[in-house]
Amino acid sequence: MTATNSVAGFTGTGTVFNPATGEIAGEVQWTDPSDVEKIAAGLRTAQREWEQRGAKGRAKALARFAVWLGDNRDEIEKLLIAETGKSSTDAAQEVPLLIMILSYVIKVMEKAVAPEVRPAPSAVLSIKKIAIHFRPRPVVGVIAPWNYPVANALMDAIGALAAGSAVLLKPSEQTPLTAELLRQGWLASGAPDVFAVVQGAREVAEAVIDNSDYVQFTGSTATGRKVAERAASRLVPYSLELGGKDPMIVCEDADIDMAAHAAVWGAMFNAGQTCVSVERVYVLESVYDKFVAAVVRDVEALQMGAGEGKHFGALISEQQLAVTERHVKEALAAGARALTGGERASGPGSFYQPTVLVDVDHSMACMTEETFGPTLPIMKVASVDEAIRFANDSAYGLSASVFSRDVARAKDIALQLDCGAVNVNDVISNLMCTTAPMGGWKTSGIGARFGGVDGIRKFCRQETVVAPRTNLGAGGNFYHNSLKTLARSNQVLTKLALARPRRIAK
């Protein structure tokens, strides 16, 4: 066992280490995979009463939990820093984001789960009342990653709880501690026992999939495929938020200082360990030198380290640091230049120096594979069309950004990019826009999180109830009618059904 949250065995009790200092962050009790079925069964029992509370009753419980998060923010962030090696700047983002999501969900959840009346498709069926009811899936399994162990643990769970589902959370085995604290807070706020946490690695994750009615997974594309295959074998629906290689396009008319500030923050925030981080930049040649100089200026002012007063902290593990090292070394060997950084930091902890790479191209892994580290490769392009072509030359399609003083032009460019979201003159902000869906194209995922009421309804099954407005006309096709009556009825139905198509065809 090393000081980078690498754990082995996953039986009994494990020790979690701070990757920045090597100090012990805490102890975790690993879950026996065979116990997950029983835990899920308990959630199913508790879920019935949770659903019966209705949206208003559930909203009160969620509101009390939001208050608990605010009251205990300092304790949560202290533990978050201890198990991830984050800077306090990075750690400070997670609890406020959850409170914002809770506040929004509380406002819209009653509308989200209210029955939806649908119009009759034709005059013949106007005697029917058609309503769509949204019934929660009993147990939603959430398999969360390590990069934002507080926010990613709950940002999807909140929607599931609002829908009336119970939540079975498996946090990353590298960051298990904050999940336990969040569950304690859920119960301490007076909420029912419909939120359970199980701890472990692959075997526990598989047990979660096998005992859930819906699976929400956030993580790598490779693991996402395995999650999808296992869920599909049970015909269980799932949503996958996977990897990204998010491009930024800087046009010749961009505000260069603003674009540089955004690129540096978007690439280095959380040590680059963000699914929607800026992973590659395409800059028009007329402003390339000015942009690169501004980026280097900003990066050289950054302070790296865990805790207070630092801009970003450690990478989560030596394994993650090794990926960053490989991408940079391979790029340098192929002709790229590092204008800052270019190697791991000296001293203890899994820190990597913030690195700006130039003279890069798409033959290099730093431009095509997800790095998830504090690197910023910048490529010169001759035209916007070339930038769009390179941006779309990727297996990924999570999000992107476009910088131009002409917002209408930037929007036009955005709609030519193959990804789930595009920020104009900003980065990462789409993650905060909970009224809109956040989902990836291509190998960046299936489905979406958030999206207004859809972010709650995705955890529901739709049940259509067709009821009579009156008994008149009921049973027109039943066998007890004469064949002559059935023939006349079918003629009338055909005539009525063809009325609109005939008018349009003319």
Chain Cα centroid distance, residue 361: 29
Q: Of the candidates 322, 319, 300, which has an alpha carbon nearest to the alpha carbon of residue 311?
A: 300
Domains detected in the chain: 13-242+451-461 (3.40.605.10), 246-433 (3.40.309.10)
Site of tokens 């396009």: 249
Chain Cα centroid distance, residue 430: 11
pTM: 0.94
- The residue type of 434 is T
CA 179/CA 196 separation, integer angstroms: 10
CA 73/CA 61 separation, integer angstroms: 18
Between helices 94-113 and 54-71, what is the axis angle to 10°? 170
Q: Which residues pair with 130 in a beta bridge?
A: 118, 466
Residue 347 neighbours by CB under 8 Å, 6+ apart? none
Chain Cα centroid distance, residue 497: 44
Measured at the CA of 362, the angle between CA 356 and CA 367, to 5 degrees, comes to: 40
In degrees and rounded to multiples of 5, residue 399 shows phi and psi of: -150, 175
CA 12/CA 17 separation, integer angstroms: 17
Residue 107 neighbours by CB under 8 Å, 6+ apart? none
CA 214/CA 208 separation, integer angstroms: 10
3-state SS assignment for residue 101: helix
Query: pLDDT truncated to tens, each residue of the chain (506 aa)?
Result: 233 444 445 789 999 999 999 999 999 999 999 999 999 999 999 999 999 999 999 999 999 999 999 999 999 999 999 999 999 999 999 999 999 999 999 999 999 999 999 999 887 788 889 999 999 999 999 999 999 999 999 999 999 999 999 999 999 999 999 999 999 999 999 999 999 999 999 999 999 999 999 999 999 999 999 999 999 999 999 999 999 999 999 999 999 999 999 999 999 999 999 999 999 999 999 999 999 999 999 999 999 999 899 999 999 999 999 999 999 999 999 999 999 999 999 999 999 999 999 999 999 999 999 999 999 999 999 999 999 999 999 999 999 999 999 999 999 999 999 999 999 999 999 999 999 999 999 999 999 999 999 999 999 999 999 998 877 656 767 787 788 887 888 887 788 788 888 889 98
CA 223/CA 155 separation, integer angstroms: 20
Active site residues: 241, 275
* Structure tokens given for 199: 């701890």
Burial of 502 (0-12, 13-18, 19+ CB in 10 A): exposed
Please answer whether residues 156 and 169 qualify as being in contact, where contact means their C-beta atoms are separated by less than 8 angstroms.
no
Q: Of the candidates 16, 85, 155, which has an alpha carbon nearest to the alpha carbon of residue 374?
A: 85
CA 90/CA 102 separation, integer angstroms: 20
CA 444/CA 398 separation, integer angstroms: 5
